Amino acid sequence: MGEFRMPSLGADMEAGTLVEWLVKPGERIKRGDVIATVETQKGLFEVENFEEGIMGEPLVRPGEKVPVGTVLAVIHGQGEPLAEVEERAPARPAEEAGTHAGQVAPPLRPPLSTGTERIAASPSARKLAAELGVDLGTVTGSGPHGAIQRIDVEQAAARVTEERPAEKAPAAPTLRDGMRQAIAAAMSRSNREIPHYYLGMEIDMSRALGWLEGENLKRPIRERILPAVLLLKGVARALGTVPELNGYWIDNRLQTSADVHIGFVIALRDGGLITPAIHHVDKLNLQELMAAMGDLIQRTRAGRLRSSEMTDATITVTNLGDLGVETVFGVIYPPQVALVAFGRIMERPWAENGMLGVRRTVTATLAADHRATDGHRGSQFLEALNNCLQNPEQL
């Protein structure tokens, strides 16, 4: 028998709200299946299953907020009778059982209908709709399976306000407020617990960009590769030289990862940041990596991320070059041990072999955990990254 628990979707997460069950008791499930949606301060997420078997009776109902690690349901082996598993299922607290005694459990997958109680919506979205006087029946959901999120309610309320400018909607916390609180909590923990050291290097991108421009001329416009893909691939290759930067600091020791899952910082249109992981970057070619990055950005902004994409990044990369920033000093996201930041690619004076010219360069900055590595190994990583970008045809 296995257990399906409330996952931790980041170092700043202490609890989550179960929004919807996507499978019913008795259904066969396999590893990787999405079986529930969960709401945190950063939005709605699809939660994957990591046990193969048959879904047992849920122990937590939609709308309940529970701490990380709480058993949400049991999963039993395919040859094990369902009744046996339910007999061994963890008991609910007595006061909770009393609260629900004699009540009929809500449907596991509430369909959309004209009745607001049957519309798929997160608990915080329902609460906000009640506060703002928004009819959920008039709101189009942007979350998983069409579920209504807080941001959908906020946008609906804004439309109503535009139509009735004389009426003033009561102030209410927004999704951005919750996300800023979550980011602040994670960064405060990072600055408090991690002894950062920083190293920077200016990298000549002329050869890499020239090669990329030639490659893109051979491709249809929709398949052209962005410079950010070269940077991501370069980081993945450089980690092969300095693997100590790829992993976690857990239980007072470094635990390196054989997989390279790069957390890619994505800015949301309505404010806030999310850093989901692009999996196995070292094994993807440039075209595959471009497709994976585009897909991740699209699903992040549509609120369709999976739990694994929020939990297994082994290193983080942030790129603020499109905003004109030249140099970025990042903060490590615990329990990771490194973050690589890139600024704007721009023309600069460049001296080489006694000759002065103009080159397109980028400033790469490494923020690393001094408990896991030192400046010498950090310098070796940046040099390896530079070498990779000077040989783009090998990426």
Q: Judge whether 376 and 202 are in contact, CB under 8 Å.
A: no
pLDDT of residue 371: 96
**C-alpha–C-alpha distance, residues 79 and 253, integer Å:** 40
Pair 332, 369: CB distance under 8 Å: yes
Tell me the pLDDT tens digit for each residue of 94-145.
Answer: 334 343 333 333 333 333 333 444 577 777 778 788 878 888 888 888 777 7
DSSP state, 336? B
8 A C-beta contact, residue 190 and residue 333:
yes
Is the four-CA dihedral 322, 324, 328, 333 of positive or negative sign? negative
Among candidate residues 340, 337, 345, the one with its CA nearest the CA of residue 317:
340
Condensed to tens digits (0 to 9), the pLDDT of residues 163-215 reads 555 444 455 555 555 556 666 676 777 888 899 999 999 999 999 999 999 99
Tokens of 225: 């590769």
In contact, 292 and 278? CB cutoff 8 Å? yes
> Does residue 200 sit in helix, strand or coil?
strand
d(CA 370, CA 176): 32
| Residue 102: CB atoms within 10 Å | 5
pLDDT tens, residue by residue, 61-71: 999 999 989 99
CA distance 366 to 201: 9
Query: What is the Cα–Cα distance from 340 to 200, expressed in whole angstroms?
Result: 10
Q: What pLDDT, in 10s, does the model give residues 31-57?
A: 888 999 998 877 788 898 888 899 998
For the stretch 277-291, pLDDT in tens is: 999 999 999 999 999
- The residue-averaged pLDDT of 24-28 equals 91
Residue 28 pLDDT > 80 = yes
Name the residue among 377, 367, 293 with its Cα closest to residue 336. Answer: 367
The DSSP result for 123-139, as a single string, is HHHHHHHHHHT--GGG-
Nearest of 254, 252, 233 to residue 243 by alpha carbon: 254
Who's near 251: CB < 8 A, 6+ residues apart? none
Asked whether the beta carbons of 9 and 310 are under 8 A apart, the reply is: yes
Enumerate helices (H) and strands (E) in the chain, giving the number of each. Answer: 10, 20
What pLDDT, in 10s, does the model give residues 354-385? 999 999 999 999 999 999 999 999 999 999 99
Tens of pLDDT, residue by residue over 211-258, are 999 999 999 998 999 999 999 999 999 999 999 999 999 999 999 999
DSSP 374: -
pLDDT digits (tens, 9 = 90+) for 303-331: 788 888 888 899 999 998 777 889 999 99
d(CA 88, CA 77): 13
Q: Tell me, what's the pLDDT at 9?
A: 80
Kindly state the tokens that stand for 254: 């470094």
What is the structure's pLDDT at 99? 38
What is the pLDDT averaged over residues 147-156? 81
Using CA atoms, how far apart are residues 56 and 127, in angstroms rounded to an integer? Answer: 30
Q: Give the chain's domains with CATH numbers.
A: 2-100 (2.40.50.100), 116-175 (4.10.320.10), 195-394 (3.30.559.10)
Q: What are phi and psi of 163, to 5 degrees?
A: -75, -30
Q: Beta strands 315-319 and 338-342: pairing type? A: parallel
pLDDT of residue 143: 74
Q: Which element (helix H / strand E) includes 211?
A: helix 206-217
Using a cut of 0.75, tell me whether the model's pTM lies above it.
no
